[in-house]
Amino acid sequence: MSGGSDQEGGVVRTRSVGLLAAGLAHDLNNMLGGIVATAELLQARSDEGDMRDLSVIVDQAVRASELVRQILAFSRQDMLNPVVADLDDLMERMLPVVSALTGPRVELVVRRGPPVPVRVDATALERVLVNLVLNARDAIMDMRGGRGTYPRKVGRIELATARIGPGERPEAARGFMPAVPYAVLSVSDDGPGVSTEHAARIFEPYFTTRPKGHGLGLSSAFGLVKQSGGFLLLEPSLRGARFAVYLPELLEAVLPEAVPARPAGRVLLLVEDELVLRMSVARGLERQGWRVRQAPDGEAAMRRLAAERPAVMVSDIRMPGLDGIGLTEAARAMWPGLPVLLTSGYADEEARAAVPRLGVGFLAKPFTVRTLNERLREIV
């Protein structure tokens, strides 16, 4: 294991990466959002060849935003939307994705445990599971040369859920894991395992043993689990590697009350301080049938709201003056039950706490107009 100085250095590096991510994410994702929205508008009036080229632009912008999101995840600053759910049910829903990732060369074994309610962002948990399964698959393939097309199985990955009591926590983790019941999701493989030297650095950002790896998969998974109030551990294994996600059991599950929504036509209030992004998104939404009212900041949005009640408000969170959180509270005071969808390329701790408290939707930037329209149909 690393010494105290190594651990202190890791904390400093984590904070440094977090500060860098926070400073860049909002501006980068705003610019990427403008690129995506503008490219989509051009696609609507382009020939087949140009549409393919524009699709490449959209894909590359989305990939760039995913890299920013992975850094945010590692630094525990990603926006999560936790819900109350049974861990075993969540794993069941993810099995089609996991099965596609493992492919025909790796045997996938699933062991289900008892129902255990947890509070977690289902999408974030899927990202964690995907990272763990991909690592396990690649380790097996690299060790056994399983990249060919012949049908023989070359390895085995096991997914399992379980419940443990306070006294069943791993011995090595008792110093930092609270003594409470946990739901456990584990991923085990029969690959080469993790050496002691690599185990000490396995969750560090940009650490990788693969020539083409970027070293953000496990670090972002670690950050997502930690932000969810849980723990991601590399555990001792007689063969291969075993990673386990520990999420506190929710002893008193309280489901949030649904916010009543009043139907009010197809008027949409779009609040965004980035001009290019606002104009492109507005034009895209208008093509989807919305009547869009635009506002460059919170104060202008309040003037719009005083004049009419929209069917829904879409607002950026980080804006000069009245931000998206304050705007939502003021808009709801004026129009109780107003459906709201907040967007952001980066949300600070206060914003991350406010989204579930306010009972509003959230969509990370950059987004396509199609994705935005789908989210709007869910909340209106």
Compute the Cα dihedral for 313, 316, 321, 325 and give only its sign: positive
**Average pLDDT for 311-331:** 92
Judge contact between 33 and 366, C-beta under 8 A.
yes
Q: Is the pLDDT of residue 108 over 50?
A: yes
How many angstroms separate the CA atoms of 90 and 95, rounded?
9
pTM tops 0.75, yes or no: no
Q: Kindly tell me if the per-residue pLDDT of 4 is higher than 70.
A: no
- Using DSSP's 3-state secondary structure scheme, residue 112 falls into coil
Q: Which has the minimum average pLDDT: 70-74, 203-207, 368-372?
A: 70-74
Question: Rounded to the nearest 5°, which phi and psi values hold at 111?
Answer: -120, 120
pLDDT reading at 261 higher than 70? no
Q: Can you name the residues that pair with 247 across neighbouring β-strands?
A: 183
- Classify the phi-psi angles of 351: left when phi > 0, otherwise alpha if psi is within -120 to 50, otherwise beta: alpha
Of the listed ranges 29-33, 183-187, 274-278, 300-304, the one predicted with least confidence: 29-33
The 3-state secondary structure of 3-63 reads CHHHHHHHHHHHHHHHHHHHHHHHHHHHHHHHHHHHHHHHHCCCCHHHHHHHHHHHHHHHH
Alpha carbon distance 52, 56 (integer Å): 6
Instruction: For residue 244, name the pLDDT band (cuts at 50, 70, 90).
Output: very high
For the chain, the domains span: 4-74, 83-248, 267-379
Read off the pLDDT of each residue in 218-222 and give the average, rounded to a whole number. 83
Let me know: does 294 contact 341? Beta carbons within 8 Å.
Answer: no
Cα–Cα distances (Å) from 166 to 114, 181, 283, in that order, read 16, 5, 55
State how far the Cα of 58 lies from the Cα of 366, in Å rounded to an integer.
10
Rounded to 5 degrees, φ, ψ at 276 are: -60, -45
For 242-265, the DSSP string reads EEEEEEE--SS--PPPPPP---BT
For the stretch 164-198, pLDDT in tens is 999 999 998 999 999 999 999 999 999 989 988 88
* Rounded average pLDDT over 199-212: 76
Round to whole Å and give the CA distance between 168 and 179. Answer: 9
Confidence category of residue 259, pLDDT binned at 50, 70, 90: very low
Sign of CA dihedral 187, 192, 196, 199: negative
Query: Quick check: 163 pLDDT over 90?
Result: yes
Strands (DSSP E) along the chain, which ranges? 83-86, 106-111, 117-120, 155-164, 182-189, 231-235, 242-248, 267-271, 291-295, 312-316, 340-344, 361-364
Q: What is the model's pLDDT at position 9?
A: 43
CATH homologous superfamily of 267-379 equals Response regulator (3.40.50.2300)
Mean pLDDT of 131-155: 77
State the CATH architecture for 4-74.
Answer: Orthogonal Bundle (1.10)
Q: Higher-confidence residue: 135 or 314?
A: 314
Contact of 291 with 311, CB cutoff 8 Å: no
How high does pLDDT run on average in the chain? 80
- CATH H-level, domain 83-248: superfamily: Histidine kinase-like ATPase, C-terminal domain (3.30.565.10)
Q: pLDDT tens digits for 77-100?
A: 556 678 889 999 999 988 888 888
Q: What is the predicted pLDDT for the residue at 74?
A: 53
Instruction: For residues 19-42, give the mean pLDDT.
Output: 67
Q: What is the pLDDT of residues 322-353, one digit of tens each?
A: 999 999 999 999 999 999 999 987 656 677 77
pLDDT of residue 19: 53
- Give the model's pLDDT for residue 7: 40
